[in-house]
Structure 1
Amino acid sequence: MAGATAARAADRARQAPPRLRADALRNRERIIGAAREVLVEYGAEVPLDEIARRAGVGNATIYRHFADRRELIHHVTLSVMSRVAEQAESALAEEPDAFVALGRFVHAAADERIGALCPLLSDGIDKEHPDHIAARDRLDAGIDALMGAARAAGRLRADIDVGDLMVALTQLTRPLPGSGCVNFDAFVHRHLQLFLDGLSAPARSELPGSAVTLEDLQHRP
């Protein structure tokens, strides 16, 4: 029995990806961070040369960490979802007023440029990848907890769900095509605050349809 257990442990060790050295891990994180910035600015087809330049590494370093553009974009989406989930969790833990926590999260998510995920996710990313599902579930749970706390406190209108929040947040932070709105970012937080005012209870109007969940957004009609 002990021999079989040791054999299984050795087999798992062989299958696990090798641990990166500290400098290699820093390079990997630098590439993902630079790719996040560049992909937001220029879209999914930006040359990898520009990502390498922004990260301060050579093209060969990118390919040592990521097999191709698709794998790099996959890790960028995981990074964005993880950072936004952390913003939701920390806002809920640190703010005594649940609606203030929700507002803090919305503005922080805008700074993370969460709206840029839409064009990246349409670039052939495997949305059923276990890592993607785990990141999505964590983000969903974090936002749901924030909204639930604000709703329980009587501060958030009752006829909305996580999907409603994400639709508005995504639309307000998604880069616009072309260069006609070069100062668009300067107004994002102003309009997000107008949106937050519309979320507060008591509701000032009746919304058409029903509350939108993240599951609703993931299933196209």
Structure 2
Amino acid sequence: MSTSPAPPTRPLRADAERNRQRLIAAAQELFASRGIDVTLDDVARHAGVGVGTVYRRFANRDELIEAVLTGAVRRLADHAEKALTNPDPWGGFEEFFLATSRDFAENRGLRELVLERNRGTADAFVDARNGFEPAARTLIVRAQQAGELRDDVEPSDFPLIHLMLGAVTHHTRDVAPELWQRFVTLLLDGLRTRRDRPTALGAPAITEDQFDRALT
């Protein structure tokens, strides 16, 4: 017996789509600044809608996180693939390290999702993460084979390095939001095997008053 074709999916009404975009924008801001532990109530309040509106668009927080952050994880793979086209092994490694450091500094939720493995267990995130890790390893090996990157560095060192940088960003985000660049430069100089002279640091040191405010 033949069955009737399923009716076409109707697009969201204009007001419903506007609410969905407001929710996504609000979630992007909150995940970036506060991490992925924010609640759906937080997102609804930030978007200026009722929490029922959130649940009509997204079944749970994980579904909202997937809608907001999967693309950000995939951009890490784009950074790696782009860096691999750089003919200079150190230049490609440095390019990727700087790009990922900036993404993690500007988006706490992304940092948590990628670096804290118990957070990003959904298939979409695992697939996206697996998409950039092989290319990142290639960048590391290529720079080591060129004699530019310390040969005692392992790929597993880099998530921990980014967690260290994340601690800087976490404490200084409201005091000196670009301070992470200073420590990225220090790290890159320490990772490189050949350096005629120290690289100029990307941001000034914070004052004692800023330090007190950052750690309070």
- Fold match by TM threshold 0.5: yes
| Secondary structure of the corresponding residue to residue 156 of structure 1 | coil
TM-score, length of structure 2 as denominator length: 0.64
1:132 to 121, 125, 130: 125
Q: Percent identity?
A: 32
Checking the alignment, whether the CA contact within 8 Å between 1:81 and 1:135 is kept in structure 2 is yes
Whether 1:92 aligns to 2:92 is no
Query: Following the alignment from structure 1 to structure 2, what is the Cα–Cα distance between the partners of residues 30 and 200?
Result: 44
1:198 matched to which residue of 2? 190
Q: For 1:47-105, what per-residue CA distance to the aligned partner results, in whole angstroms no more than 9, with x for missing partners?
A: 54664677798766644442111222244443332111211111221x22121111111
5 Å matches for 1:83-162?
Answer: 83-93=75-85, 95-113=86-104, 116-117=109-110, 119-120=112-113, 125=119, 127=121, 129-162=122-155
Query: Following the alignment from structure 1 to structure 2, what is the Cα–Cα distance between the partners of residues 135 and 87?
Result: 13
One-letter code aligned to 2:170: L
1:176 matched to which residue of 2? 170
Query: Following the alignment from structure 2 to structure 1, what is the Cα–Cα distance between the partners of residues 34 and 148?
Result: 38
Query: Given the superposition, is the C-alpha separation of residues 91 and 123 from structure 1 closer, same or farther in structure 2, using an over 3 Å criterion?
Result: closer
1:207 matched to which residue of 2? none
2:74 matched to which residue of 1? 82
**Per-residue deviation, 1:191:** 0.7
Q: Which runs of 5+ in 1 are unaligned?
A: 1-6, 204-221
Checking the alignment, whether the CA contact within 8 Å between 1:52 and 1:58 is kept in structure 2 is yes
TM-score, length of structure 1 as denominator length: 0.63
One-letter code aligned to 1:158: D
Query: Following the alignment from structure 1 to structure 2, what is the Cα–Cα distance between the partners of residues 26 and 134?
Result: 29
Query: Following the alignment from structure 1 to structure 2, what is the Cα–Cα distance between the partners of residues 167 and 123?
Result: 12
Query: Following the alignment from structure 2 to structure 1, what is the Cα–Cα distance between the partners of residues 112 and 177?
Result: 18
One-letter code aligned to 2:154: D
Q: Which runs of 5+ in 2 are unaligned?
A: 196-216
| Secondary structure of the corresponding residue to residue 185 of structure 1 | coil
